[in-house]
Amino acid sequence: MKLADNKATLSFSNGTPSIDLPVYHGSVGPDVVDIRKLYAQTGMFTYDPGFLSTAATQSAITYIDGDKGELLYRGYPIEQLATSCDFMETCHLLLYGNLPNAVQKKDFSSLVTNHTMVHEQMQFFLRGFRRDAHPMAIMTGLVGALSAFYHDSTDINNAEHREISAIRLIAKMPTLVAMAYKYTIGQPYMYPKNSLSYSGNFLHMMFANPCEEYKVNPVLERALDRIFILHADHEQNASTSTVRLCGSSGTNPFAAIAAGVACLWGPAHGGANEAALNMLGDIQKNGGVEKIGDFIKQVKDKNSGVKLMGFGHRVYKNYDPRAKLMQETCKEVLQEMGLEKDPLFKLAMALEKIALEDDYFVSRKLYPNVDFYSGIVQRAIGIPVPLFTAIFALARTVGWIAQLNEMIGDPEYKIGRPRQLFTGAVPRDVKPLAQR
């Protein structure tokens, strides 16, 4: 970051002397006011619950311009990455800062491929879960448990450990998600097949069984790969900030990523694709396209507690660029699967059209986010709804790791420790039990 020529001056109406605060420029996007010395100079904190105006870190990985609807990974527009690169190239880009050449791509992909198997003991650990456990409950446990299986890559302050754990996590997430799925449906786990691509191998581990030949469908393989690319990183969102905060204590990378998985599970974040598809299913059950008007009325009623899931975003105040790409993929997959007339897709398109014309959504700058269509794509691929968020976690793992490693390598890195405005009881004495 570069010190700007201008400064911010903070003045107070009660006579406290005003102070100058440094301002920094990034390479693009809003400047920041540096308040690190504010408490030492004034005895005051800033107050910003939800981080509406607070940059918690500097980062060179992902840039979002929410007003323009722009998303860049290391400077490259998401539209170009989604159409010209695959997920392995995207992982290389996020982790190391550059798109690989052909040799680097081959080396990186084979490194990941050679780490796809998980310790055989993991399946016995998995067996401890109820068969009907939510896949995200299982994933939170399995990812955290990796630190119990890979002791040689748990030192977050050791660059070699961070490198090995990064590759292990990217390689093993698909295996773990597929194992969690096979466990819930009572089928045998399928070992990874190293001749397949990252996405092809995931389809194989999910849908193959030992009794039959399984042929990867290239349209579905590409669709899944695009889902992975679109979800790979998204700047300082809730789960990424969780990973950074958790990792800032020096905990091991597997534990920090498990914290990210737990955070992602929530319906306001990664759980939204599952929630969006369930919402479409409910509307369909209650009358379908005809009843969209009634549903929109409910959404607009503050007391109903109903939200249009898959709509709205903290940062995008224009169309989420990932939603456009996902809508394209949605059409391709439905056509491939002979589901062009899929009622949920039709319902989603109709709902989107109505919402985009409605003043409630227009005035609040609420547009579809990536999750509005990703659920329909995943369902068409054959992925069961409760697994959607686990797929998101699989894809986001590379972003979490890239952000975690960036933080550890930052000379200004400190343990994350927010402060508070205390509004509780002032000091008081404990009375003996009989007098309370």
Q: Find the binder of ligand ACO among 64, 323, 334, 366 (CB under 6 A).
A: 366
The DSSP call for residue 393 is H
Question: Which residue number, 172 or 313, has a Cβ lying nearer to ligand ACO?
Answer: 313
Q: How far is the CB of 348 from ligand ACO (least distance, A)?
A: 13
DSSP string, 161-224: HHHHHHHHHHHHHHHHHHHHHHHHHTPPPPPP-TTS-HHHHHHHHHH--TTS-----HHHHHHH
**Alpha-carbon distances, residue 110 vs 91, 198, 224 (angstroms):** 13, 10, 19
x/- mask, ligand ACO, residues 82-101, rule CB under 6 A, reads --------------------
Contact 394, 198 (CB under 8 A): no
Cα–Cα distance for residue pair 51/56, rounded to 1 Å: 8
> Active-site residues: which are they?
313, 371
241 binds ligand ACO (CB under 6 A): no
Which C-beta is closer to ligand ACO: that of 174 or that of 271? 271
Angle between helices 321-336 and 371-381 (to 10 degrees): 20
Q: What character string, x for contact with ligand ACO (CB under 6 A) and - otherwise, covers 261-300?
A: -------xxx-x--------------------------x-
Instruction: Beginning with the edge strand found earlier in the chain, give each strand of the sheet holding 2-10 in spatial order.
Output: 2-10, 19-25, 32-33
Least separation in angstroms between residue 308's CB and ligand ACO is: 4
Residue 139 DSSP one-character state = H
* Closest residue by Cα to residue 325 from 260, 370, 258, 380: 370
Tell me how far the alpha carbon of residue 370 is from its chain's centroid.
11
Helix (H, G, I), strand (E, B) or coil at 83: helix
374 contacts 329 by C-beta, under 8 angstroms: no
Which of 100, 144, 310, 399 binds ligand ACO (CB under 6 A)? It is 310
| Residue 408 token pair | 């550890």
Which residue among 291, 314, 324, 331 contacts ligand ACO (CB under 6 A)? 314
Binder of ligand ACO out of 80, 84, 364, 418 (CB under 6 A):
364
Q: Which is nearer to ligand ACO, 203 or 366 (CB)?
A: 366
Q: Is 227 in the site for ligand ACO (CB under 6 A)?
A: no
Span near ligand ACO by CB under 6 A; candidates 138-146, 202-210, 284-292, 362-370: 362-370
Q: How near is the Cβ of 329 to ligand ACO at its closest, in Å?
A: 15
Residue 369 interacting with ligand ACO (CB under 6 A) = yes
Among 229, 258, 259, 370, binds ligand ACO (CB under 6 A): 370
E strand segments, 280-414:
none
Which residue, 91, 56, 89, is CA-closest to 401? Answer: 91
Nearer to ligand ACO, 269 or 324 (CB): 269
- Which CB, 62 or 113, lies closer to ligand ACO? 62
Supply the minimum distance, in Å, between the C-beta of residue 371 and ligand ACO: 5
Question: Which residue number places its CB atom closest to ligand ACO?
Answer: 312
Query: Near ligand ACO by CB under 6 A, which window of 57-65, 161-169, 284-292, 367-375?
Result: 367-375
Binding site for ligand ACO (CB under 6 A): 268-270, 272, 299, 307-314, 364, 366, 369-371
